[in-house]
Amino acid sequence: MSRLVLLGIVLLAAAAAYWRFSWPPEVAVVSPEHGDVAEIVYATGVVEPRTWAKVAPLLRERIVELCNCEGESVERGAVLARLDSRQPEATLAELNARQKLNTADYDRIAALVERRVASDQALDRARSELGQIQALIAGQETRLESYVLRAPMSGVVVRQDGEVGEVAEPGTVLFWVGEPKPLQVEADVNEEDIPRVVVGQRAVLKADAFPEQVLEAKVDSITPKGDPIAKTYRVHLALPEDTPLRIGMTVEVNVIVRVESGALLVPANALRGSTLFVLEGDVARKRDVKVGIRGARNTQVQQGLAETDRVIAPFPDELTDGVRVLERRG
């Protein structure tokens, strides 16, 4: 290839690059619109009964009996499960046998004291030994109660886990007992958002089980003390009686803090902080505005923008004030 041809190719490439980089960039333009915009606090939560309790063993032992009562009503104190208690029962039987011997010994010494054959000190020792055995028996009987899991309240067994023969670990929940209605959502709200949440605020929920429905809730209570590690506060939201949500479902929570009607709105991606670009003729002009409520899709502009302005959206990374641009068509 001759040097002349090579030079021609280089010049063509340079001309194409110059044309490409000198050509005004294309931008998309939108007009501000009036509409409603809401300030929200976002959180995630879980549906649970308003009144319920967990039942878990206090010790590690094998399950020997289960009620198989999931979905059934139970009374407070009803036996839900039993753990293998053969060893503590054997210990209790041994203590009862010792109590019989100590009682007989005490009665014998008491009779001797009446005949002034034995001393009062011997009777006191026998009484003390008998009292110790009785205290051990009372403690062992209390310990045996730990091998029986009972309903802490009247209600419905909304969930049951574990199987006969499995070894139950301390703190592992085997039963959830509560009232199926009313239901609530327990949500964790970030500490920076919690000052904007107050009791009585409306909330809308989204659940994967009902993707086409926007579900209602209302802020019912806020825990006074937050979690300093997770930096969240627990918020309970009351659900209406006819809610289709079920216990254990996860939901996305949007607490509505305030709503502005007839606000001047621009797409959220048209802004970088409080700065946007407007198109004046064929020139991009940078403009600082006063921003109000920031929504997921739209943002309220309170000052610095007119209805007739043409806003460049999305916010262009490379654009500078006063640059000529081409409006993208179609």
Q: Which regions of 56-162 does DSSP assign to beta strands (E)?
A: 61-66, 73-74, 79-83, 148-150, 155-160
pLDDT of residue 3: 54
Q: Is residue 210 part of a domain?
A: yes
Q: Is residue 209 part of a domain?
A: yes
How many other CB atoms are there within 10 angstroms of residue 80's CB atom? 21
CA distance 320 to 288: 13
pLDDT of residue 116: 83
Q: Is residue 12 part of a domain?
A: no
pLDDT of residue 22: 57
Q: Are residues 62 and 125 in the same domain?
A: no
CATH of the domain at 292: 2.40.420.20
Q: What is the pLDDT along the chain (330 residues), one digit of tens a residue?
A: 455 545 445 445 544 444 445 567 889 999 999 998 888 999 999 999 999 999 999 999 999 999 989 999 999 999 999 999 999 999 999 999 999 999 998 888 888 888 887 788 888 898 999 999 999 999 999 999 999 999 999 999 999 999 999 999 999 999 999 988 899 999 999 999 999 999 999 999 999 999 999 899 999 999 999 999 999 999 999 999 999 999 999 999 999 999 888 999 999 999 999 999 999 999 999 999 999 988 778 999 999 999 999 999 999 888 899 999 988 876
CATH of the domain at 221: 2.40.30.170
Q: Are residues 162 and 272 in the same domain?
A: no
Q: Is residue 230 part of a domain?
A: yes
Q: Are residues 121 and 215 in the same domain?
A: no
Q: Are residues 243 and 185 in the same domain?
A: yes
Could you tell me the residue range of the domain that residue 115 belongs to? 85-146
pLDDT of residue 10: 46
pTM to 2 decimal places:
0.67
Q: Do 265 and 211 touch, CB atoms closer than 8 A?
A: no
Cα angle for residues 8, 11, 12 (degrees, 5° grid): 85
CA–chain centroid gap for 250, Å, is: 8
Q: Which of 130, 159, 178 is the last residue of a domain?
A: 178
How many domains does the chain fold into?
A: 4
Q: Are residues 281 and 311 in the same domain?
A: yes
Helix (H) or strand (E) holding 182: none
Q: Are residues 195 and 275 in the same domain?
A: no
